[in-house]
Structure 1
Amino acid sequence: MSPSSHRGRGAQGDHELWRRAPERLHFPETGGEAPWDTWRSRPAAQQPDYPDPAALREVTARLRSCPPLVFAGEVDDLRALMGAASRGEAFVLTGGDCAETFAESTADHLRLKIQTILQMAVVLTYGASLPIVKMGRIAGQYAKPRSNDVETRDGVTLPSYRGDAVNSFEFTPRARIPDPTRLMDTYHHASSTLNLIRAFTKGGYADLRLVHHWNRGFTANPAYARYESLAEEIHRAVKFIEAAGVDFDSLRDVDLYSSHEALLLEYESAMTRIDSRTGLAYDCSGHFLWVGERTRDLDGAHIELLARVHNPIGVKLGPTTSADEMRGIIDRLNPEGDPGRLTFITRMGAERIRRVLPGLLEASKADGRPVTWMTDPMHGNTITSSTGYKTRSFDTIMDEVRGFFEAHQDAGTVPGGIHVELTGDDVTEVIGGSENLDDAALGSRYETLVDPRLNHQQSLEMAFQVAQYLATGA
């Protein structure tokens, strides 16, 4: 995480950001309500049905009095970097769990996740000679939209599991009741996670001279062997630069930004603050927030809330997205065309991306307002294995990534980043890759509670292939 005292508007302005929490402010032009609370008059999809509204109000009041999780200066730094990515001057790597859990908010799990992102970033930087903007689906991705409101097992129907921020995975009536106190738990787990991120990325662990150490403890396979060879090249280059007397301050730590889907509106609204220096509102639950395919209704509550905060915003675009819908999103979220403000994250599916994306890219070029384009090659390629597991094929995932780059090359536009679900653990949730995981192998370490993730070696394989696409165009 980028310390606001180093860059941006500075510590004093960021300190005022949390001191002036919304319950201590008055907004006469809106009848005393926070100006971003206009979302309450819009239809809100995918929201929990809390049985006790009074308990919900009590929790959100407590959240409004809590310090922010991120600060305005950090958010503005990221916004500038996202603008650079839209121009091809940087590339964005976003990775992390499909849905974080409270139980896995541990130092070991976080270290492995950060390590994987760092390794992927090293591969991309070295292979493509581009600065890599590093973001985690982290410190906030505790809720997930669901296709169905209920789940039925053995004739018993209960509310669906919507992530630890809402209810519990256990299939019991009590566990599946939406519990607003989990929003406070979400805040505390996100806070401790960000503290760990800061410790790992600013405390020497991310030093580029340790690239060899990041690969220790994993079994040998082609992806790791290739990484080790790259690490040796980097090590020699670093030793040469060191001998030449170059300052290594920029190699000792990194900025790792937090991102999540802004799904739970009560939480996001309660975590929004006014920056005392500019009067702008920031959603201080994370640096980068996105709207999902199920909640990007132009007249809906999610778009309304995020239109009123100054964070860089992402919107997932599925295969049914029309050019008119895309232009409508730009009109609502970035009408003035500010670089870095709006990112489109395509999740088309490998079979459809080459057919759908070119038209959107041409419409975006004609519109002229800058957009950062990223690909989510995971969500459009989910299948059920012959053994009954929800999975994805590594080859199909990479085919969508390749289609993303091909479409941009043909359109003369910029592929700005990738957005993937991954873990630092050697799970068996996605078939394929250099270890040739098949349907039968899925059960050996299938640990996700929602969607299948790339494991550590598959993540490295992806990074090497993406680096090649960046270097060659496709």
Structure 2
Amino acid sequence: MTEWQKSAWREKPRVQMPDYTDDSALKAVEAQLSKYPPLVFAGEARSLKRDLAAAGRGEAFLLQGGDCAEAFDQFSADAIRDTFKVMLQMAMILTYGAKVPVVKVGRMAGQFAKPRSAPTEAKDGQELPSYRGDIINELAFTPEARIPDPKRMLQAYTQAAATLNLLRAFSTGGYADVHQVHAWTLGFTESEKAAAYRDMANRISDTLDFMKAAGLESDTNHNLRTVDFYTSHEALLLEYEEALCRLDSTSGKWLAGSGHMIWIGDRTRQPDGAHVEFARGVLNPVGLKCGPSLTADDLKVLMARLNPSNEAGKLTLIARFGAGKTAEHLPRLIEAVRSEGANVTWVCDPMHGNTIKSASGYKTRPFDAVLREVRDFFAVHRAEGTVPGGVHFEMTGLDVTECTGGVQAVSDENLSDRYHTACDPRLNASQSLELAFLVAEELTSHRTALAANG
């Protein structure tokens, strides 16, 4: 294969990307971005790769979560804090269930572009280009708002930089203290509706009390006060990705400087397409969304393209089939991986295959369908003797009403109360924590079954 160039994707077929009308404005933005500092650093990406390799071996577990699409008008320090807070709570619950470290990766500081099922949308007899995320155009349904504007990349960069700055402060400044995180979780389990999860919460309390009695206090133990927190997004807008690509002087390899981990969506994984071409050349860990239409042969080609040296931690396969379909599709892809001897980390995305239109007209995701896909994912890996390496959720720390079900019993009638997403429905804080407890139960069962089988 020819030596990789960061601009080589421009010679490949492109999908799900805008056609900018002002080429000179686009080139000016790309030139400006190319002078900006990278948002992440090569050493951080290598650390995440090591952590994902551990998850692939069952020695860690990936928790990846955050916004469907970050919005400029919803950007605030409180929103970042609330999502970070819930992810820490989820991670603590999963750590207890898995008995291994949890790798925390946010869909944050870069998740601005969204693939769409159609290039246009119609409303009240008017047809306009689809909204493709704030980095490309605006949500407002007007001809002017839907024109792709390259200057929006500069605003996305600024918001991503500010988000990362705050995340780094939260991660190392004491906000992530393990005792504080657990105190937040206890507040959730005190409600009558969450009583089913109180036993596990109490067991975590007992463990922390034992650690305190043994002298393992957070004020003297750095590991109890800080966390490693990484960022990720779908690398959809390749002009932005290329402009932030930087040569790592340590390794001589190229870094996607837009985020620690990038992924390729189910709509952009063409083996000879632009997105695969870009992702194959960066040193970052790369995710690949695997939907029902992915064939075993295409997966083999994609694994060879995206991870030619078969490096552990490099490639994460994110299964997203829909409730009731995992048992049909996941085993054949596992067999393709096994036949190639490929190093991959298997992750479950139970959100994207379970989007429905409610009777009230809102897009939603039933909590029960999300949970069923997670359970099916674990069941297949138990049957195949393979490792369930993590979960990938669209969620927020805000008290939204976008997915139905859960202990809050969000109903179809409640969806309009606090439906704030610009694209797809997200789990709210309560639903995210409930799902963490249920995934922790699956992890505990999985480890028990492994121990019983020797």
Letter in 2 for 1:392: R
State the aligned residue count: 443
Q: What runs of 5+ residues in structure 1 fail to find an aligned partner?
A: 1-28
Pick one of 360, 365, 369 that aligns with 2:338.
365
SS at the partner of 2:127? strand
Measure the CA separation in 2 of the matches of 1:282 and 1:151: 36
Greater shift, 224-233 or 320-329, is seen at 224-233
Change (3 A) 1:218 1:351: closer
Residue 235 (structure 1) shift: 4.0
Tell me the alpha carbon deviations over residues 436-473 of structure 1, each in whole angstroms, 9 at most, x when there is no partner.
22211111111111101111111111111111111112
The 5 A counterparts of 1:447-458 are 447-458=420-431
Pick one of 385, 403, 417 that aligns with 2:376.
403
Tell me the alpha carbon deviations over residues 258-299 of structure 1, each in whole angstroms, 9 at most, x when there is no partner.
000000000000110001122110001000000001100000
Measure the CA separation in 2 of the matches of 1:222 and 1:308: 51
SS at the partner of 2:365? strand
Tell me the alpha carbon deviations over residues 6-40 of structure 1, each in whole angstroms, 9 at most, x when there is no partner.
xxxxxxxxxxxxxxxxxxxxxxx98xxx8221111
Show structure 1 runs of 4+ deviating over 3 A. 215-236
| Residue matched to 2:316 | 343
Residue 315 (structure 1) shift: 0.5
Tell me the alpha carbon deviations over residues 158-203 of structure 1, each in whole angstroms, 9 at most, x when there is no partner.
1111111011111111111110000011100000000010111111
| Residue matched to 2:167 | 197
Greater shift, 169-178 or 58-67, is seen at 169-178
| Residue matched to 1:439 | 412
Change (3 A) 1:224 1:210: farther
Measure the CA separation in 1 of the matches of 2:294 and 2:90: 30
Q: Does 1:289 align with 2:262?
A: yes
Q: Does 1:425 align with 2:361?
A: no
Residue 228 (structure 1) shift: 6.2
| Residue matched to 1:136 | 106
Q: Does 1:321 align with 2:294?
A: yes
SS at the partner of 2:27? helix
Tell me the alpha carbon deviations over residues 407-446 of structure 1, each in whole angstroms, 9 at most, x when there is no partner.
1111111010111100111111111112222211111111
Mapped contact 1:224–1:457 kept (Cα < 8 A) = no
SS at the partner of 1:69? coil
| Residue matched to 2:96 | 126
Tell me the alpha carbon deviations over residues 61-102 of structure 1, each in whole angstroms, 9 at most, x when there is no partner.
010000010000000000001100110000000010100111
Mapped contact 1:222–1:434 kept (Cα < 8 A) = no
If the length of structure 1 is used for normalisation, what is the TM-score? Answer: 0.90
The 5 A counterparts of 1:67-466 are 67-215=37-185, 221-222=191-192, 230-246=200-216, 247-466=220-439
Mapped contact 1:211–1:231 kept (Cα < 8 A) = no
Letter in 2 for 1:113: T
Measure the CA separation in 1 of the matches of 2:225 and 2:443: 25
Mapped contact 2:316–2:346 kept (Cα < 8 A) = yes
Change (3 A) 1:385 1:74: same
Measure the CA separation in 2 of the matches of 1:241 and 1:354: 41
Letter in 2 for 1:420: F
Measure the CA separation in 2 of the matches of 1:337 and 1:75: 17
Q: What runs of 5+ residues in structure 2 fail to find an aligned partner?
A: 450-454
Residue 241 (structure 1) shift: 2.1
Mapped contact 1:223–1:460 kept (Cα < 8 A) = no
Measure the CA separation in 2 of the matches of 1:341 and 1:73: 14
Measure the CA separation in 1 of the matches of 2:371 and 2:291: 17
- C-alpha RMSD of the superposition: 1.8
Measure the CA separation in 2 of the matches of 1:216 and 1:463: 14
Residue 212 (structure 1) shift: 4.4
SS at the partner of 1:61? helix
